[in-house]
Structure 1
Amino acid sequence: MAKQFPHLEPEHREFIQRQRLFFTASAAATGRVNVSPKGLDALRVLGERAVVYLDRTGSGNETAAHLRADRRLTLMFCAFEGPPRILRLYGQGRVIRHGSPEYTQLLAAEFNNEEPPGARQLVWLDIELVQTSCGYGVPLFEYGGERPTLTKWAEAKGPEGLETYRREKNARSIDGLPTGLFDDEDEPPSR
């Protein structure tokens, strides 16, 4: 049975910190809904009502476009080992641009100033609701390790190659919405 909480409790934080994978869900008012898996030790719990994750360059940048258009964001964690549980964080998200003063401060404070190859932006979630549910339908899996492919790909691209790739693949969503990744993009819609 689902239970709701106004903020993260200590047991929620402990559960989140044990997970090796989480999912993001976002959408604009129209167009496609996006769900993305995230791993590679990307997420940090900042307190009872906020989390941030380090987002790396990928095939698209849907979450950033959706957060510019409509700040709704959901993160979901599932127990693939041990007792069953699903935990969802609902709230308002925003992107923190790479190289900005806030990005630099959070990278130092939360990620030990370690920026992995392909780091693209940080995504912040202000938590409005925490929900737990049973997770009985989630199968058990054994963790086999991280895949090195994303890191190797970003290293091979190098800074200039990543810039070119992001301009081609990450500047707009699949529905044509701007992501805000570059200074020369369209201004975000007024809220």
Structure 2
Amino acid sequence: MGKQYDVINDRLRTFVTSQPVYFVATAPESGGHVNVSPKGYPDTFAVLDDTTVAYLDLDGSGVETISHLRDNGRITIMFASFSGPPNIVRLYGTGEVVTPGDARFEALLKNFGPHPAVRSVIVVSCDRISDSCGFAVPFMAFENDRTLLDEHHELDSSKKRQFQRSSAPRESIDGLFGLHAGETDPAHRRS
């Protein structure tokens, strides 16, 4: 049976911060494509207070989440238990893209582990916090984190592509504004 919470209590905090993978879902205000992104590296997610969470946005091929958040702010983050008792936690809320030019950026970075190619920090103010059973979620064993993304971002050829992408305006696959040219510098920014 699902339950709704006013805050991210200690039990929920322990659960969400111990999951090796979580999923971020956003959509444009009207039309367009829904986006769901898996996120790994457990040190890229943090609970900031009872109703606010954040995650480290590392450079990638697209800007769907950023574009959708700048369009309407709606976001859901989902955590599912693949081991232990069945549980699914969903954090619904309003997301904000915090880029290096924002005065809060450096303080937010202190909540995360070291990673190259940091593009932004996504901060989510939760207006609905809920969990449900997860009875149909399969058991799966966690082996270890893939280090390929961090390793890829350390390559000179990757840094060149990151710089080229950050030097041009970026938009979503549906043509929504994502990032201004020069707004981020993932080729040189580390957490």
Return the TM-score normalized by structure 1. 0.87
Distance (whole Å) between structure 2 residues aligned to residue 181 and residue 122 of structure 1: 16
Number of matched pairs? 180
Counterpart of 1:53 (choices 33, 55, 59) is: 55
Shift of 1:98: 2.8
Shift of 1:166: 4.3
What secondary structure, in the 3-state scheme, does the structure 2 residue paired with 1:101 have?
coil
Q: 1:40 to 1:181 in 2, by over 3 A?
A: farther
- Structure 2 equivalent of residue 19 of structure 1: 19
Q: Which amino acid aligns with 2:107?
A: Q
Q: Which amino acid aligns with 2:61?
A: S
Moved more, 92-101 or 11-20: 92-101
Shift of 1:162: 1.1
Return the TM-score normalized by structure 2. 0.87
Q: Deviations over 1:39-87 (max 9, x none)?
A: 1121000111100000111121100000000111100000011000000
Q: 1:183 to 1:118 in 2, by over 3 A?
A: closer
Distance (whole Å) between structure 2 residues aligned to residue 95 and residue 27 of structure 1: 15
Report the aligned-residue RMSD.
1.8
What secondary structure, in the 3-state scheme, does the structure 2 residue paired with 1:161 have?
helix
Distance (whole Å) between structure 2 residues aligned to residue 181 and residue 143 of structure 1: 38
What secondary structure, in the 3-state scheme, does the structure 1 residue paired with 2:92 have?
strand
Q: Deviations over 1:108-153 (max 9, x none)?
A: 3x13xx5411111100000101110000111111111111211121
> Could you tell me the percent identity over the aligned residues?
36
- Structure 1 equivalent of residue 108 of structure 2: 106
- Structure 2 equivalent of residue 148 of structure 1: 147
- Structure 2 equivalent of residue 62 of structure 1: 64
Point out where structure 2 has 5 or more consecutive residues left out of the alignment: 184-191
Moved more, 115-124 or 130-139: 115-124
